[in-house]
Amino acid sequence: MLEKVVYLADRAKEQLETSDDSRVWPKPIPYRNGPEKGFTYKLRLREKELEYEPLEGGYFHPDRSEPDTVLELLEKVEAPNPKRKNVTIKPGDKINVYLHGAGVTSHEEETVAKVGKKYLFIEREDEGPNKFDMTTGKCVNDHDPRYSFGFYRTIDKLL
């Protein structure tokens, strides 16, 4: 038995429910072949439904004669979370810290003091602890004018 599974836009159910009159049917609904953000209504089309070519140009065209059947077949699923990289860096490891300013970029190798879920900490003897956002690579301390003086520091993005 031939069948195809598609994932309709999140507005699909509301769009199908608002049309009670068969003469006023909702617009075609965008679909994807896999669940993703914004496309979380799973619809399993069997061989019989596929005969009417409900899928054209990235849109699902519902069967106008059986609106309730389409609604019954919709199944809400969770959108997958984008996979995060596993951070393999740990306290004591060396990391490059880049200093940007006056059109020049320099770098120094520093020792990691602590690794959190979103932030990485580097402690230097001449300064307090420096907190770096691992998704953007920017030093959070540099947002404070007392520390930046027009210069800013970054690390390579880790997440």
pLDDT of residue 41: 92
Give the residue extent of every domain in the chain.
3-76, 94-154
- Residues in the chain with pLDDT values less than 70: 1, 19-26, 64-67, 82-85, 87, 143-148, 159
Q: What is the pLDDT of residue 7?
A: 92
Map tokens 């300013």 to a residue: 101
Order of strands across the sheet that contains 3-8: 55-56, 59-60, 29-32, 3-8, 41-46, 75-76
Contact between residue 134 and residue 111 where contact means Cβ atoms under 8 Å apart: no
Q: Beta strand pairing status for 3-8 and 94-101?
A: unpaired
Strand ranges inside 17-103, DSSP E: 29-32, 41-46, 55-56, 59-60, 75-76, 94-101
DSSP state of 144: S
**Amino acid symbol at 43:** L
Confidence at residue 117, expressed as pLDDT on a 0 to 100 scale: 86
Evaluate if pTM is beyond 0.85: no
Q: State the pLDDT at residue 83.
A: 66
pLDDT at 25: 63
